[in-house]
Structure 1
Amino acid sequence: MWPWGHAAVGYLLYTAYRRSRFDLRPHGVAVVALAVGTQLPDLIDKPLAWQFAVLPNGRSFGHSLLIAAALLVALWLVARRFDARESVAAFGIGYIGHLFGDALYPALAGEFHYVGFLGWPLIPAIEYELATGGFLDHLFALDLGPLALFELGLTVVAAALWYRHELPGLGVLVPGYGESTPEERPE
């Protein structure tokens, strides 16, 4: 899955979580934590595998459910102390959503060997046929087939929903851009 697909899936999952649990829309710092969570596995694995050859491939350490569990438990313990549980929940939804987003296509194709990254290091690293190279090399090799179009469609839906929610999280990143009041509004 591509970065925009991960962001879209994460935002849609987090919106569903907030709506079902609190009857509220996404808001503030938690949306920024969500965005980081949707991208972090690739920000860890891709450079360390493609550029520095420290990891066996672009889906290993950061894409492991074992590593994710340890990270999320540690973050949850810290969040309890600083009353940041909602941000950690958002981050976790984004992070876990990323892992299962990457596992979705091979699972649908019945190529279960390629979801082994979820169990790394207990399951040995997968040998991919992809050539090494940076992000741009992979971007230029993008096949605009049905799966890529599906991701773009999800991205359009998520972006429209984010806009409808009045661009939550943007005020955290852009000084002077305020989110609507009251701070927590039902859908």
Structure 2
Amino acid sequence: MWPWGHLAVAYLLYTIYTHRDGHRPRALPVVVLAIGSQFPDLIDKPLAWSFGVLPGGRTFAHSVFFAALLLPTVALLAHRVDRPAIGPAFAIGHLAHLLADIPPSVLLLQDFSSTTFLFWPVLEPPAYHSPDSVLAGFLRYSMGWYELVQLGLVLIALVVWYRDGTPGLDAVRRRLEHTVSKTP
């Protein structure tokens, strides 16, 4: 799945999570959710595609073993800094990423062979084409039915995010303005 698809899936799951208690998503947790939704690819893709350290773009940070260590650590740190809402936000983002990377063939064809990346290094990741770099991965982008479904999810997520009051947008905008104003 592409980054915008991961973000859309994560946001839709997170808004359901927050609305269950009658609340709307808040700015900081949504920013952390966005980071969590990209986190596995931010680690695995460069280490595999650009540096050749990992055997594939879905290995180390895509593993449930990594998640089992990472997510409690993030939750503990969130409580330490008195921001408990960012723990679940990051966890939902990260876990949504892992689930969204499971190909449709698992459900459609009951073919679970493409889920072995979740259990790396115990199981070998499935073989798939790995580009030479992250940039090459983006350059090979093409639209098919799967990408159209992702685009639909992005549009739905944008509407829901807008109805939620665009949480996180003002915080990111203020941070960018602050950073730009300090640039000589």
Q: Same fold (TM over 0.5)?
A: yes
Q: Secondary structure in 1 aligned to 2:167? A: coil
Aligned-pair CA distance for 1:70: 0.3
Distance 1:37 1:150 in 2: 21
- Asked whether 1:165 is paired with 2:164, we answer yes
Q: TM-score, normalised by structure 2?
A: 0.88
Distance 1:146 1:99 in 2: 20
- Contact 1:28/1:169 (<8 A) preserved: yes
Q: Secondary structure in 1 aligned to 2:104? A: helix
Partner residue, 2:54: 55
Aligned-pair CA distance for 1:144: 1.7
- Asked whether 1:123 is paired with 2:123, we answer yes
Kindly provide the amino acid, as one letter, of the partner of residue 40 in structure 1.
F
Aligned-pair CA distance for 1:170: 1.6
Aligned-pair CA distance for 1:6: 0.3
Q: Secondary structure in 1 aligned to 2:149? A: helix
Aligned-pair CA distance for 1:104: 4.0
CA RMSD of aligned residues (A): 1.7
Distance 2:162 2:138 in 1: 26
Partner residue, 2:150: 151
Structure 1: runs of 5 or more not aligned: 178-187
Aligned-pair CA distance for 1:176: 8.0
Which one is further off, 62-71 or 81-90? 81-90
Partner residue, 1:137: 136
Kindly provide the amino acid, as one letter, of the partner of residue 122 in structure 2.
L
- Contact 2:61/2:67 (<8 A) preserved: yes
Aligned-pair CA distance for 1:58: 0.1
- Of all paired residues, the percent bearing the same amino acid is 43
Partner residue, 1:89: 88
Q: TM-score, normalised by structure 1?
A: 0.87
Aligned-pair CA distance for 1:163: 1.7
Kindly provide the amino acid, as one letter, of the partner of residue 114 in structure 1.
S
Q: 1:1-187 maps to which residues of 2 (within 5 A)?
A: 1-20=1-20, 22-108=21-107, 109-128=109-128, 130-175=129-174
Structure 2: runs of 5 or more not aligned: 177-184
Q: Secondary structure in 2 aligned to 1:167? A: coil
Q: Secondary structure in 1 aligned to 2:7? A: helix
- Contact 2:50/2:134 (<8 A) preserved: no
Structure 2 CA distance for partners of 1:51 and 1:24, relative to 1, 3 Å: same
Which one is further off, 115-124 or 78-87? 78-87
